[in-house]
Structure 1
Amino acid sequence: MNNEQRHLLRRLVTLYTGRAPEFLADAYDTHYASDTVLDAVHLGWAGSTNAGEPHYYRVQDPRVLIEYDNTQRYANHAHSVWRDLTSDFGLDVLAEHRAHIAHE
């Protein structure tokens, strides 16, 4: 990616991570400031690039998964999700589930 593309990708990630409490948002900004980290990010796009037309994108790296889907109802019904694949804000739901099952 060139510098402008890197800047746009960082802005896109910040649209999601910036909604977290300030200390977390700052940590994500610091993490994605590294070009090496950004090199591991994959972006997938499907659909039109014209405003008002259906489209979908996914941003993923080892840490973050972001999806945006605006393909229903003539691109008038959007869904988005952002997850931290390493912790989901400190909760390891699978580990908790396994621990619960082990104690039954």
Structure 2
Amino acid sequence: MAELAAFIAGVKEARDLGIDKLWIESDSAAMVVAILSCKIPWQVLQKWWSISHFLDSIQWRLTHCYREANALADALANYAARQQCDRKWTSTPDFITSKVGYDALGRPYYRFT
């Protein structure tokens, strides 16, 4: 449910910014399958309807990627969870800058459990 809420919030932000091409990557395979198969849970169906017209009017894609491939989004999500806040930045936050450089070099991320 949290991933769906984040998806909807992100699409609303894209709509507000006037984005006409959108590619969303998520590490939640369940969310990707639910959206692509149009099996939206009833708890968020009304919110889904509020963005579906926008999605129909633009080019968009939703793909699954593993958490390691989405280190920037993972860092932002961890920040939001630790700080218990939602925030918009007008420039790249300091804790992301090094990850952007690392990502630009195409270096792999590893996660050990």
Fold-level match, TM-score > 0.5? no
**Per residue, is there more helix in 1 or in 2?**
2
Higher Cα Rg, which structure: 1
TM-score by length of 2: 0.23
TM-score by length of 1: 0.25
Higher relative contact order (CA 8 A, sep 6+): 2
